[in-house]
Each structure stands twice: as structure tokens, then as C-alpha cells.
Amino acid sequence: MIKERMAGFVLMCAVVPLAIVGYLILWWVGIFGPNSRGRAGVRALDHFVNATVFNGYAWESISSHAWRVRHERRWAKFVIWVTDKFQKGHCMRANKREQKVVDFIVSHKMDKQTIF
């Protein structure tokens, strides 16, 4: 347990400054760069926020997570309501696309502790 926490702390100390640089690059790319690079950066940020803020899987978007827990969590209903204003059925489609990945990772226990 201590080894995992220490490794996580060391990794976080290296990754957080890079994440700030990445955010600034994403901002610049969003205005001047290719759409594909911006899309990849936003997707990574989406997964990061899902894992940290919404206690979801790191390989799942907020939209997919919201659809998966729509009957259990109030925040999920709000996310679905907001995204439906921009694209009807967005969260349902995101979950349909991503649920296969979630099922695969969970079934192969890839969501379990990796440092012992």
C-alpha cells in the first residue's frame, strides 16, 4: 500500500507540471492547430476529469459514465440534460461505443492494483 502511494506521489509530481503544459498546448492547438490533435487532447482531459472528479474509470468519458449511472446519480442526469442540448442522445452513443472497452478492462481485472 505504501509503495503504491509513494509511486503515485512521485508520478503525480512529474505529471502535474506536464499536464499544465499540455493544457496550454491544447489551448493553442484549439485555436490554431489541427482538429485531430485538439480532439485527442480534449478526450484525454475528459477521461482525466471523469476519473478524478466523478470517480469513474480512466478509460471512460464523462458522457459514457453519466449514461452508465444515469439511474443512480443526480450529476449524471444533469450531464445528460446538458449534452442533449447540443447533441440529442450523445451520452447514450458514447456509452454504446465505450462500454465494450469498460467491460473488457474489468473482465480482465486491468482496473486492479498494479504495484505490489
Span 33-88, pLDDT tens digits: 999 999 999 999 999 999 999 999 999 999 999 999 999 999 999 999 999 999 99
Question: What's the CA gap between 53 and 46, in Å, rounded?
Answer: 10
Question: pLDDT by residue (tens digit) across 80-109?
Answer: 999 999 999 999 999 999 999 999 999 999
* Band of residue 5 on the pLDDT scale cut at 50, 70, 90: confident
The C-alpha cell that represents 37 in the structure block: 490533435
pTM of the model: 0.81
Give the single-character DSSP code of 54. Answer: S
Q: Are 99 and 67 in contact (CB under 8 A)?
A: no
